[in-house]
Amino acid sequence: MTDEVSAQGGRRPMQRQTVHVVLPAYNEESRIGALLDRIDMAMWEEGFSYRVIVIDDGSRDATAAIVRDHGSHMPILLKRHETNQGLGAALRDGLIIAMESAAERDIIVTMDADDTHTPGLIVHMVRMIREGCDVVIASRYQPQSQTYGVPVTRRFFSYAGSLLCRWVLPIQGVRDFTSGFRAYRADVLSRAVQQYGGDFLDQDGFQCMVDILFKLRRLRLIFGEVPMILRYDLKQGASKMNIMKTARETLMLLFKRRFGT
């Protein structure tokens, strides 16, 4: 005896997957408008359901006003810090907001707000997530990656840091440990919060990007990378990163995670 299955009504409706883009921002009035326009275009061209979460980390310029203006024609949530608390705090708040509203199948993307990251790469990162990766990094150390306008000193420290991380705490599939342009399965970040609690996002400086990977490493995930196109030549104003301070704090964190907690 065979069971007959009716096709009437089509397939069972599924909740549409949403891409949540988290942007920590500090005094980015010169470029954040252009970045938001490019995110909107990239998402619209692919038909993605999306929203942007901007954490204005105590900006003293027109960053918040520009974000509010863009909110009239694209889905944006703006949260402001009264004072500058650092990248780690801004990223933590953005990820928490994203996780609170994200469905299990959703994807959470983090990227810089200075328009140096190319939003078109989100399409490739989402595709890799859908193909089985849990975390995808836009990497400067993959074939076909391209960087423009990055100072030699910064390139040296970034590459040296990558080599050290790969040696001390290697993660299969990861070469670029400090890139802030990433895509995560929403349920993966939720699992990390369940395991680590408030300690999952407890670094305030730029080393927070490295620390997230070290903690996710224990969850036995599948990591992947896409070649990054880094447009540092579009950045206006001085970098907010203190290279020597970041290098020192990252080094201390690396050995703490390797030999401590």
pLDDT at 243: 61
Q: Kindly tell me if the per-residue pLDDT of 153 is higher than 80.
A: no
pLDDT at 260: 66
Categorize the per-residue pLDDT at 155 as very low, low, confident or very high, splitting at 50, 70 and 90: confident
pLDDT at 98: 97
C-alpha angle with apex 161: 27 to 167, nearest 5 degrees? 150
For residues 138 and 228, the answer to whether their CB atoms sit within 8 Å is: yes
Collapsing DSSP states into helix, strand and coil, what is residue 11? coil
- 125's CB contacts (< 8 A; 6+ apart) are 107, 109, 136, 138, 182, 183, 226
pLDDT at 9: 47
For residues 89 and 11, the answer to whether their CB atoms sit within 8 Å is: no
**pLDDT above 90 as % of the chain:** 57
- 174-207 pLDDT tens trace: 999 989 999 999 999 999 999 999 889 887 777 7
Q: Kindly tell me if the per-residue pLDDT of 1 is higher than 50.
A: no
Q: What is d(CA 234, CA 116) in angstroms, rounded to the nearest whole number?
A: 6
Q: Kindly tell me if the per-residue pLDDT of 57 is higher than 50.
A: yes
pLDDT at 258: 65
Average confidence score pLDDT of the chain: 85
Mean pLDDT, residues 58-77: 96
Spell out the CATH class of 18-259.
alpha beta
Mean pLDDT, residues 161-177: 84
- 74-110 pLDDT tens trace: 999 999 999 999 988 999 999 999 999 999 999 999 9
pLDDT at 6: 35
- 24-56 pLDDT tens trace: 999 999 999 999 999 999 999 999 999 999 999
More confident residue, 239 or 168: 168
pLDDT at 201: 86
**Residue spans per domain, the chain:** 18-259
Q: What is the DSSP pairing of strand 182-185 with strand 229-231?
A: unpaired
pLDDT at 93: 95
